[in-house]
Amino acid sequence: MEMMTAIPPGSVGEVAPQRAGFLEPLILKAGKTLASYELVYETYGTLNADRSNAVLVCHALSGNHHVAGWHAGEPKKLGWWDNMVGPGKAIDTERFFVIGLNNLGGCHGSTGPASVDRATGQPYGAGFPLVTVEDWVASQARLMDRLGIGRLAVAMGGSLGGMQALQWTLDFPDRIGHAIVIAAAPKLSTQNIAFNDVARQAIVSDPDFHGGNFYAMKTVPARGLKLARMLGHITYLSEDLLGEKFGRDIKGDDYGFNYEVEFEIESYLRYQGDKFALTFDANTYLIMTKALDYFDPAREAGGDFAKAVAPAKAGFLVASFTSDWRFPPERSREIVKALVKGGKDVTYAEIDAPHGHDAFLLDNAHYHKLVAAYMDNVAAEVGAGDRARPLIVGGTELEEMKGYSGRGKP
């Protein structure tokens, strides 16, 4: 008998990524065309007979298609939203068919800057076009076509993922029943863009970046990517959480009066930065931050966001977290106000959570119950059945804290 990893309650268990190739060119907002591309995706649960129970999970800046469960041989590398998606969880895979994909331009399997451009036989590198939230939604719609899903029950995501869910309701109003838009904003603020540009400048000014064509040079702009991640990280966590977890704790017994790691927070950030630089693609980071900067549905509606959301027919669950200073609650309320003004069906929740922007990734019973309750209504609407077991809210650790072995306060 072969050893099997036991499947814990609420887990989808072992999963395998799948691939879909598209030969029909995709015309991008940037005016360029992707002649062909592949999307890597995962699915959890079963598509019901009338194909009405599909839930698309859209990822944020550094996310990917691996939303729940684990891959063969990697039982500890759980999907990034494993606490949200699974049998009995808020997104209940006993009732819903859940799809996660890696976005175009990504670095986890879908066609992106590190992929080989068939036209040249070389990695795209700097030649990979900038993609937008609209482009992603268009590519996602094609994946839904491929899977035989004419209409999504729900598109959902946090942060940049929430922006995609929102864009779905504008670009395909007849193909989506509900959007769950978490910790998002109708567009980036000036400060948001400013932080993104510092991160991008860190990457492009790294001598190992080689104008984006570092693959051929066998280099990785690790210094720049590390800085980008360190900076991003500060904005994902609340000041209070940082203070509680690391305070002014130092590694040694006294100040070292040198530039080695000294404060615990330095140790933590550098560790996260180094880890990220080893696993993430610098061009993808640039593409993702530009997609964030560009997102602005109101732009083509004369700056009127309420007018921009007029086409939407979906129901909305909008959620924000009190301590999120990247996209604080007032940004979510901008979305809500415009939707309400347009007479849309909107539920809004401002969730008291201390973790900052990353709260959308974390267990929080109130938050998960809220999503679960919303999904119960969706299930009733699409005939996806009743919840078979009590809601499972798991004990998932803050992703960014994983693997860090410093002595930060518990």
Active-site residue set: 159, 324, 357
Q: Which amino acid is at 183?
A: A
- Give strand ranges (E) for 165-285: 176-182
Residue 207 interacting with its own copies (CB under 8 A): yes
Closest contact distance (angstroms) between CB of 335 and its own copies is 16
Kindly state the tokens that stand for 220.
């990785």
Kindly state the tokens that stand for 292.
């964030």
Residue of 194, 216, 278, 365 interacting with its own copies (CB under 8 A): 194
Question: Closer CB to its own copies, residue 265 or residue 353?
Answer: 265
Residue 259 interacting with its own copies (CB under 8 A): yes
Q: Which residue has the tokens 């959007």?
A: 179
From 94-102, 285-293, 309-317, 374-382, span contacting its own copies (CB under 8 A): 285-293
Residue of 116, 198, 216, 388 interacting with its own copies (CB under 8 A): 198
Q: Is the separation of the CB atoms in 58 and 140 below 8 Å?
A: yes
Q: Which amino acid is at 380?
A: A
Question: Closer CB to its own copies, residue 50 or residue 197?
Answer: 197
Closest contact distance (angstroms) between CB of 253 and its own copies is 12
Residue of 4, 73, 118, 258 interacting with its own copies (CB under 8 A): 258
Residue 243 interacting with its own copies (CB under 8 A): yes
Residue 242 interacting with its own copies (CB under 8 A): yes
Residue of 191, 369, 381, 389 interacting with its own copies (CB under 8 A): 191
Q: Is the separation of the CB atoms in 325 and 239 below 8 Å?
A: yes
CB atoms within 10 A of CB 147: 18
Question: Closer CB to its own copies, residue 183 or residue 230?
Answer: 230
Residues in Cβ contact with 326 at an 8 Å cutoff, skipping those fewer than 6 apart: 159, 183, 192, 235, 236, 356, 357
Closest contact distance (angstroms) between CB of 218 and its own copies is 17
Residue 200 interacting with its own copies (CB under 8 A): yes
Residue 133 interacting with its own copies (CB under 8 A): no
Residue 279 interacting with its own copies (CB under 8 A): no
What DSSP element (H or E) covers 284?
helix 282-294
**Cα distances (Å, whole numbers) of residue 259 to 12, 96, 230, 262:** 46, 52, 17, 8
Q: Report the sign of the C-alpha dihedral through residues 314, 141, 110, 77, in that order.
A: positive
Residues in Cβ contact with 185 at an 8 Å cutoff, skipping those fewer than 6 apart: 163, 192, 327, 331, 332, 334, 335
List contacts with its own copies (CB under 8 A): 29-32, 129-130, 187-191, 193-195, 197-198, 200-202, 204-205, 207, 223, 226-227, 230-231, 234, 239, 242-243, 245-248, 255, 257-259, 262-263, 265-266, 269-270, 273, 286, 290, 293-294, 296
